[in-house]
Chain A
């Protein structure tokens, strides 16, 4: 390692930081409303849930199975004296569910006739994505169309790439919760 290579490497690092600072300033200028999402992981997949529809995040607890229920309905749990239905997010989205019982996190949703909770592997954190219309999330500039992402599921409203969100990890799939819950709550 000679001196010229060291100088070149330092110069490269400085240029990269300069570009990153320039890009952050640009994004702040263009994306006017930022919508927060709760980012969860199921297996290899990452999903984003609108933070406004989330009531509470819990650690996994004992699940009581319900006979005759669909495959996605894992069972019911007791929460603050109320019975809450627990749906496996991966199963509900038609993905393979690898979560073992007793592990993972539970995301309690707010609103609706019945209390519903989603079982995920882990809740990563909160990510803000620029979405112009909260009711049609797929129309936002920060989201890509589902057809563009290759995801054929109906409950998916779009895909947030990694550079578009504020999360640490790669991009995530934005889940359209009302559409997802529709078939289970009807």
Chain B
């Protein structure tokens, strides 16, 4: 069968719906027919009933008017105009009643022709006949009444009295006719009710039959669906139960192109996929088991390493604490060094001033030494002059010496007479020798003075040189001390930077301490986490073994 189950079910529901729709439409049509019938009957019956009522009233009014006219004529005290008016009214109403009788008869005949049922036509016919009889009676009444009105007009009391009795009889006959007409109408109404009941019964039966037919049709459709859908579904369900029990080896016999066939093929594909999945799952579970064991081993190693890490963090914290203390000491020492360096800078500035003073003093010494050198040179020139003088004196003494010798020679040559002159010559020679010895001493002293002067000159030059060298060295020392001062100030700045750096380092180390605290907490958490990981890996191992057991269930 190539029609799909959905289409089959749709077809069945469409059939049932069509039947129910037809049933509803038919029922609506029947209800409409009943309503129309009832409307017709009620309208016609009411029209005729109103005309009959009107007619009855007019007949009674005519009777009252005649009686009033008779009484007025008999009482004789009534004016003529009133009588005339009453007579006129009676004649007018009589004319209208005559028209009404005609209308009733025509209406009844028309309704009889168009009646929906023979009973109703018969009833209308009977009503028309009765109305015709009543009209005849009415015309006789009018004919009988006219002489009386003439008598009334003529005020003929006897005539009035004479004619009164037959007129009353005729009046009663007329009323009886109208009453019969009413009864005939009642029969018509009864016939209409009968007609409505008939229509109701017929509709009821037809609807019940149609309902039964639709129920039968539904049962048929359900049975068809059951046979075409449920039974293949049960096969599929049995197959699915086998698969659920772990048998992945079988396949479903999937034929046809409907949903069941497609479901079967899909299930076959799914079971094949499940078999694949089970194989893969078994291998993966084995891998998982091995991996869980590895994870457990790794977790134990990690726990050990976390313990070591914790110990290392403790040691690091202790070390950092020592570093903090030593950093504080460094800062303190650096402060002391800064104070020392500042005092050193002040000292070196004082030293700089002292060296500048020394340089000035050296310069003064050099100038004074140069002045001393100048003085010594002048002194040397003076001693040179003295030397010249001494040379002159020496020359004179030498000449005197020779002169004394020559005098002694002449005295000796003179013999005895020159003896006293020889004494004089001897004294002269003695004086000359003493002068020469004195000049020799002076020369010696002058030589010593000259040597001393030369030594002094050399020493003074040496002093000048040394003063210059001392000034140069003082300048060098000044520059050196300036450099030292600059370097000491640089050192002060450097140490201040060191102090700042040390403070920052302290802050950093405090942060490091905080970080180490965090690391320690993290290590503890890691240790806890590692224990949990260990437990979880144990659970994972158990789970993997349970999974292996489960995977064993699937046969493929």
Contacts and interface: CB of A to CB of B under 8 A. Distances in A.
Contacts of B409: 38, 51, 54-57
B429 A59 contact: no
Contacts of B433: 125
Contacts of A36: 408, 412
A59 B405 CA distance: 11
Contacts of A54: 409
A110 B413 CA distance: 10
Nearest to A166: B426
A52 B413 contact: yes
Interface string A51-85: 11011111100000000000000000000000000
B476 to A, nearest CB: 55
B105 to A, nearest CB: 218
B402 A58 contact: yes
B406 interface: yes
A105 B426 contact: no
A75 B433 CA distance: 30
B398 interface: yes
A59 B398 CA distance: 9
B526 to A, nearest CB: 105
Given A51-B412, A52-B413, A59 B406 contact: no
A126 B399 contact: no
Contact of B405 (A52, A57, A110): A57
A57 B406 CA distance: 6
Q: How large is the interface on A (under 10, 10 to 19, 20 to 34, 35 or more residues)?
A: 10 to 19
A38 B405 contact: yes
Nearest to B415: A52
Interface residues of B, number: 13
Contacts of A51: 408-409, 412
A126 B405 contact: yes
A87 interface: no
Contacts of A57: 402, 405-406, 409
Interface string B386-416: 0000000000001101100110110011000
A56 B406 contact: yes
B402 A126 contact: no
Given A125-B429, A125-B433, A126-B426, A105 B402 contact: yes
Interface string B401-443: 1100110110011000000000000100100010000000000
B440 to A, nearest CB: 13
A56 B426 CA distance: 16
Contacts of A55: 409
A123 interface: yes
A36 B402 CA distance: 17
A172 to B, nearest CB: 15
Contacts of B429: 125-126
Contacts of B398: 59
Given A36-B412, A51-B412, A52-B412, A123 B399 contact: no
A105 B402 CA distance: 9
B290 to A, nearest CB: 123
Contacts of B413: 52, 110
Q: Which 9 pairs of residues, A with B, have the shortest CB-CB distance?
A: A57-B405, A51-B412, A126-B408, A57-B402, A54-B409, A57-B406, A36-B412, A123-B405, A56-B406
Interface of B: 398-399, 401-402, 405-406, 408-409, 412-413, 426, 429, 433
Interface of A: 36, 38, 51-52, 54-59, 105, 110, 123, 125-126
19 contacts: A36-B412, A38-B405, A51-B408, A51-B409, A51-B412, A52-B412, A52-B413, A57-B405, A58-B402, A59-B398, A59-B399, A110-B413, A123-B401, A123-B402, A125-B429, A125-B433, A126-B405, A126-B408, A126-B426
Given A51-B408, A57-B406, 4 more contacts: A56-B409, A123-B401, A126-B408, A126-B412
